[in-house]
Structure 1
Amino acid sequence: MTDSVSHAYDAVAALYAELFSDMLETLPLERALLAAFAELVRDRGPVADVGCGPGQVTAHLHALGLDTFGVDLSAEMVALARRAHPGLRFDEGSMTALDLGDGVLGGVLAFFSTIHTPPPELPAVGAEFRRVLAPGGHLLLGFLAGDGPLPREVDHKVAPAYEWPPDALADLLREAGFSEVGRMERAPHEGERFRSGYLLMRANPATARRIREPGRP
């Protein structure tokens, strides 16, 4: 699945960057949410934009005063991000195996970057996000919001994607060692097909101890 998603985004990287490079200009609610996230994580350590695409949101976080860098599975997306924002760091990598030490980040942003992850694989992603976050650090996760008790596969234009009921996704992240701070949903804008959902989660200290000392209470 990882390779197929990477290849799919490599193929559309240039078009994607052209279409979405200024997307935040028309998303006032998202800008407000990112500003709140920035206030929470500022001065707590570096912030990773995981699934950064061509880097427009990474650059926005940097403009908000954060020490931020981007990570993406697609080599073409990373190349575009580096060209568009030469003063920022962008790395190629997988959200299931981030090349980062335990507890080194103050924040993680996953702005619709987990939507292609099959539901059985998403707990591992949540655990990886928790591993790299310091206790008290924050995760802001954007997702396709769905109804019903279970996630549902939907027809995305680039690769298969999944809608998640907000309660079910929040429960999954709690199991990974997070506490919910807040959530937001909004209806689709013109040209959008899905509801947008956002979960703001805080990393629990107790889980950090279990990660560092596996098998101990």
Structure 2
Amino acid sequence: MTAFDFLQSTRASYDAIADEYATRFRGELAAKPLDRALLVAFVELVRDNGGGPLADVGCGTGRVTGFLHGLGADVFGIDLSPGMLAAARRDHPELRFEEGSMLALDLPDGGLGGLLAWYSTIHVPDGQLPGVFAEFFRVLAPGGHLLLGFQAGDGVLRRTEGFGHDIDLDFRRRDPEWVAGRLTGAGLTVSARVVREIDDTGEFPETTRQAFLLARKPVVSGGRQDGDTD
């Protein structure tokens, strides 16, 4: 699949289901205390590093963007789908949401204190993931933090129907260590790995384990980066 094909199918699919998705998952985060705790810790790390703008890349309907804003983060959202962005702006009119692709972010080098990719890399083909992580590295300020959320496992789940609409989406389950290796390859330092076991109870049952990786762009000091030993 080419980058164009992936972007087109992802945009069209989420445009089709945006309103139903917003309604269905509006309260999901409230039912997941560990996920909320990780987001709180992420905001605190960004703040302790001096703050700066925080981008929610692949923000969808803005539900997590709004949560971060409630924690006091200087946050804005970016998403590929105009339909999802319309829902985000409707639910969170006080926040800024922009259309864009994580393959080529319209952001300056080193301008972000933090970047969140909360289940937004799961549709990216494996071959394009290093390029996405290179973009994340580029836009983060030295010392800036990155938090990823994704389904742990292997294989691809293909869906052609969602909320009664025709869609064309591949959901990629990934080994957290494999993803961590790609982050390291992009120049980022992985600082924490969390894997949450399947929770198949409640209103939002799951069928896979959930993985969360926290990484940091090294601070350059005297021509050397964090972790240099030569």
**TM over 0.5, yes or no?**
yes
User: Residue in 2 aligned with 1:99?
Assistant: 106
CA distance in 2 between counterparts of 1:187 and 1:54 reads 26
> How far did residue 189 of structure 1 move?
1.9
1:26-49 alpha-carbon deviations (Å, 9 max, x no partner): 000001000100100024210000
Which residue of structure 2 lines up, in the alignment, with residue 17 of structure 1?
A: 22
Distance 2:27 2:76 in 1: 18
* Equivalent of residue 154 in structure 1, options 143, 154, 157: 157
2:37 aligns to what? Answer: 32
| Deviation, structure 1 residue 198 | 0.3
Aligned counterpart in structure 2 of residue 203 of structure 1, from 205, 210, 217: 217
Q: How far, CA to CA, are the matches of 1:171 and 1:189 in structure 2?
A: 27
Paired with 2:207 and 2:189, the residues of 1 have a C-alpha distance of 29
Residue 163 of structure 1 and its aligned partner are, at CA, apart by 1.1
* d(CA) in 2 for partners of 1:199, 1:31: 14
Residues matched between the structures, number? 204
Deviation at 1:22, TM superposition (A): 1.1
SS of alignment partner, residue 173 of structure 2: strand
- In structure 2, the residue corresponding to 1:96 is in which secondary structure? coil
**Partner AA of 1:63 in structure 2:** G
Unaligned runs of 5+ in 1: 210-217
Q: Give how far 1:161 is off.
A: 1.5
Question: 2:175 corresponds to which letter in structure 1?
Answer: P
1:39-188 to 2 correspondence within 5 Å?
39-42=44-47, 43-146=50-153, 151-156=154-159, 159-188=169-198
Aligned partner of residue 160 in structure 1, secondary structure: strand
Q: CA deviation at 1:154?
A: 2.2
Cα offset, 1:175, TM superposition: 0.5
Q: Give the C-alpha shift of residue 186 in structure 1.
A: 1.0
Q: CA deviation at 1:56?
A: 0.7
Q: Partner of 1:44: helix, strand, or coil?
A: coil
1:4-34 C-alpha deviation (Å, 9 max, x unpaired): 0110010010111001111111000001000
CA RMSD of aligned residues (A): 1.5
Q: Which runs of 5+ in 2 are unaligned?
A: 1-5, 224-230
SS in structure 1 at match of 2:40: helix
Q: Look up the match of 2:3.
A: none
Output the TM-score relative to the length of structure 2: 0.85
Residue type of the alignment partner of 2:178: A
Runs of 4 or more off by more than 6 Å in structure 1?
Answer: none
Taking only the aligned residue pairs, the percentage that are identical comes to: 52
Alignment partners' CA distance in 2, 1:188 and 1:50: 25
